[in-house]
C-alpha cells in the first residue's frame, strides 16, 4: 500500500507524517518552495517539528506528478476558501481532483479531507476523476471522505488524539477507509453511514461554533450600549453548570469564518434560505468595524484628534500562538481605522512578514514597539509574547482596547 497526500498545509503535512511512520507515503504539493523546506526539515506552519519529520521514515516529498503514479490511495487536503461573493471557491479542489485523475488506476481509492458542502465529493470531485481517468466510479475506483479536524497552533489536540469521522463510497470501501485511519488515530474513529453524512458533520461543527460566538458578540454590542462589561456578565453567568463558555471576538481563520458559507450555499441551491446561519455570519463579520469605531470614540473622548493619530495593532494572525494569517479579521479593524485617517502599525512576532505583505499589503514592525509613540493600542491576538510585554510605558492619554480580555483591567479603556 502506497499513500499520496495531495496538499501539504496545516492539514496535509501532519497527516503525511503520521502515515509516513507506518506506510510508504508521498507528500505532494505544487509549491516548490514548500517542498524544498520540508525536505530540509522546515515546516513554516509550525505544526510539525524537525524530529517528527525525521521520524516519518517512509515519507518523501515531491512536486512531480510522475512520482505519485505508484500510489493506490490518494488523500486530498487542499484549501476550500470562499470568493469575494462569499460563495465556495472550489478551484483548488477541482485542480487537485484533475491531478489525481491523471494518475488514477483501477482499484485506487481517493479520500477527501477538505471541508465542503454535503454532496460535493460525489457531485463535483468524482466527475473530474472520471473525466481525467476514463474510469468508472464505484466500479474501477472508489472514494472516501474523512473531514479534517486539525486545530492550528494547538499542541494538545493533535491528529492522533482527535477522533476521526470516516466514510466510503461502498460499504466495503468504508470499512477499508476506517481501518486505514484507525491505524494512526489513537482516539479512534466514527464510521459515518455515507460520504454525504460525513461532509455534513464537518461543516456543521464550525457553523455551530460560529453561531455561538455570534450570540456572545451580539451580547457585547448590547452590553456596550448598557455600559456594562461583557466579560463580567459571562463570568457571572458561567457559574451555572450548563452555561457554554463562549467569548466575544473576531471570527476568522480557514474554518469557522468560511465553512458556514458552504452550508448556506448548498441550502440555497436546494431552495432553502438559511436565516440563523447567515445572521450569525453577519454579526461576526461586523465586529472588526465595531472595534475600530469604538477606538475612534474613545480617542475623541480623551481629547485626541482622530485624523493623523497613530494606532498600534498587536497581532495579525487569526488566532493566538499560530502563524496562520488566512482570513484574519484583524484586517477589518485595520482597514476601518485607516478609513478615519489613522496611521496604523502592526506588530506580530508569529506572522511571516512577506506573507502578510503579499496577503494584506501591510509592512509589519520588525522590532518590539514603543508604546509611547501611539495614541491608541489594540490587542487583537492573545499571543503569549503579548502577555509578557511591559505596558507600564503606555501614556495615560492613550486609548487601550483589549479584544481578547487578557490585559489587566486597570490598563484598558475597553474590552470586547
Helices (H), ranges, 170-315: 171-182, 195-226, 230-237, 259-269, 276-285, 287-301
Question: Rounded to an integer, what distance in angstroms lies between the CA atom of residue 127 and that of residue 199?
Answer: 17
Task: State residue 268's pLDDT score.
Answer: 96
Contact in structure between 129 and 275 (CB atoms under 8 Å): no
Three-class SS of residue 60?
A: strand
Residue 152 has pLDDT above 90, yes or no: no
What does the pLDDT average to over 118-142? 98
What is the end-to-end Cα distance of the chain in Å, rounded? 52
Task: State residue 68's pLDDT score.
Answer: 97
Average pLDDT across the chain, whole number: 96
With helix as H, strand as E and coil as C, how does 388-412 read? Answer: CCCHHHCCCCCEEEECCCCCCHHHC
Task: State residue 90's pLDDT score.
Answer: 97
- Give the residue among 284, 145, 126 at the shortest CA–CA distance from 219: 284
Question: Rounded to an integer, what distance in angstroms lies between the CA atom of residue 316 and that of residue 274?
Answer: 31
Contact in structure between 7 and 78 (CB atoms under 8 Å): yes
Residue, of 26 and 409, whose pLDDT is higher: 26
Across 7-21, 145-159, 330-344, 362-376, least confident range: 145-159
List Cα–Cα distances, 169 to 93, 138, 220, in angstroms: 18, 7, 45
Q: How confident is the model at residue 154 (pLDDT cuts 50, 70, 90)?
A: confident
Can you read off the three cell numbers belonging to residue 88? Answer: 465556495
Query: Is 255 an active-site residue?
Result: yes
Can you read off the three cell numbers belonging to residue 341? Answer: 485617517
What does the pLDDT average to over 6-27? 96
Read off the pLDDT of residues 45-72 as tens digits, 9 standing for 90 and up: 999 999 999 999 999 999 999 999 999 9
Task: State residue 261's pLDDT score.
Answer: 95
List Cα–Cα distances, 206 to 116, 140, 225, 280, 344, in angstroms: 12, 34, 29, 12, 31
Residue with cell 485624523: 307
Task: State residue 398's pLDDT score.
Answer: 96
Question: Rounded to an integer, what distance in angstroms lies between the CA atom of residue 115 and that of residue 109?
Answer: 18
Q: How confident is the model at residue 39 (pLDDT cuts 50, 70, 90)?
A: very high
Question: Rounded to an integer, what distance in angstroms lies between the CA atom of residue 377 and that of residue 386?
Answer: 12
Residue 31 has pLDDT above 90, yes or no: yes
DSSP-derived letter for residue 66 is G
Q: How confident is the model at residue 221 (pLDDT cuts 50, 70, 90)?
A: very high
Task: State residue 195's pLDDT score.
Answer: 98
Q: How confident is the model at residue 165 (pLDDT cuts 50, 70, 90)?
A: very high
Q: How confident is the model at residue 156 (pLDDT cuts 50, 70, 90)?
A: confident
Read off the pLDDT of residues 367-390 as tens digits, 9 standing for 90 and up: 999 999 999 999 999 999 999 999
Residue 254 has pLDDT above 90, yes or no: no
- Give the residue among 273, 253, 394, 381 at the shortest CA–CA distance from 324: 253
Question: Rounded to an integer, what distance in angstroms lies between the CA atom of residue 58 and that of residue 19?
Answer: 8
β-bridge partners, 112: 76, 145
Q: How confident is the model at residue 150 (pLDDT cuts 50, 70, 90)?
A: confident
Q: Max alpha carbon distance in the chain (Å)?
A: 73
Three-class SS of residue 170?
A: coil
Question: Rounded to an integer, what distance in angstroms lies between the CA atom of residue 402 and that of residue 314?
Answer: 10
List Cα–Cα distances, 57 to 6, 63, 66, 307, 343, in angstroms: 19, 19, 21, 58, 50
Q: How confident is the model at residue 223 (pLDDT cuts 50, 70, 90)?
A: very high
Amino acid at each position: 500500500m502506497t499513500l499520496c497526500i495531495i496538499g501539504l498545509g496545516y492539514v496535509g503535512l501532519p497527516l503525511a507524517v503520521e502515515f509516513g511512520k507506518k506506510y510508504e507515503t508521498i507528500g505532494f504539493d505544487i509549491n516548490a518552495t514548500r517542498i524544498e523546506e520540508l525536505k530540509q526539515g522546515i515546516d513554516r506552519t509550525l505544526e510539525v517539528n524537525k524530529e517528527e519529520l525525521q521520524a516519518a521514515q517512509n515519507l518523501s516529498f515531491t512536486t512531480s506528478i510522475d512520482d505519485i503514479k505508484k500510489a493506490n490511495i490518494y488523500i486530498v487536503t487542499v484549501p476550500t476558501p470562499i470568493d469575494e461573493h462569499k460563495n465556495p471557491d472550489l478551484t483548488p479542489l477541482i485542480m487537485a481532483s484533475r491531478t489525481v485523475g491523471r494518475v488514477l488506476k483501477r482499484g485506487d481509492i481517493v479520500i477527501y479531507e477538505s471541508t465542503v458542502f454535503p454532496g460535493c465529493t460525489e457531485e463535483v470531485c468524482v466527475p473530474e476523476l472520471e473525466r481525467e481517468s476514463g474510469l468508472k466510479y464505484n466500479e474501477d475506483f472508489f472514494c472516501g471522505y474523512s473531514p479534517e479536524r486539525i486545530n492550528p497552533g494547538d499542541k494538545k489536540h493533535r491528529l492522533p488524539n482527535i477522533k476521526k469521522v470516516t466514510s466510503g463510497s461502498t460499504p466495503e470501501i468504508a470499512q477499508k477507509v476506517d481501518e486505514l485511519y484507525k491505524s494512526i488515530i489513537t482516539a479512534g474513529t466514527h464510521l459515518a453511514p455515507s460520504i454525504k453524512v460525513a461532509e455534513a458533520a464537518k461543516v456543521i461543527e464550525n457553523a455551530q461554533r460560529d453561531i455561538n460566538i455570534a450570540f456572545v458578540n451580539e451580547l457585547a454590542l448590547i452590553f456596550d450600549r448598557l455600559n456594562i462589561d461583557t466579560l463580567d456578565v459571562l463570568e457571572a453567568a458561567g457559574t451555572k453548570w450548563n452555561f457554554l463558555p463562549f467569548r466575544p471576538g473576531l471570527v476568522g481563520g480557514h474554518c469557522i469564518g468560511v465553512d458556514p458559507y458552504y452550508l448556506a450555499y448548498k441550502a440555497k441551491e436546494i431552495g432553502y434560505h438559511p436565516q440563523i446561519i447567515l445572521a450569525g455570519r453577519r454579526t461576526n463579520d461586523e465586529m472588526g468595524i465595531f472595534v475600530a469605531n469604538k477606538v475612534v470614540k474613545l480617542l475623541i473622548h480623551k481629547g485626541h484628534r482622530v485624523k493623523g493619530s497613530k494606532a498600534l495593532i498587536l497581532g495579525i494572525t487569526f488566532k493566538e500562538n499560530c502563524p496562520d494569517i488566512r482570513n484574519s479579521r484583524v484586517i477589518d479593524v485595520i482597514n476601518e481605522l485607516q478609513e478615519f485617517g489613522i496611521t496604523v502599525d502592526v506588530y506580530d512576532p508569529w506572522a511571516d512578514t512577506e506573507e502578510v505583505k503579499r496577503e494584506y499589503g501591510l509592512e509589519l514592525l520588525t522590532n518590539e514597539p514603543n508604546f509611547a509613540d501611539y495614541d491608541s493600542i489594540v490587542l487583537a491576538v492573545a499571543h503569549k509574547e503579548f502577555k509578557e510585554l511591559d505596558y507600564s510605558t503606555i501614556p495615560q492619554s492613550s486609548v487601550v482596547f483589549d479584544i481578547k480580555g487578557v490585559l489587566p483591567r486597570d490598563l484598558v479603556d475597553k474590552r470586547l
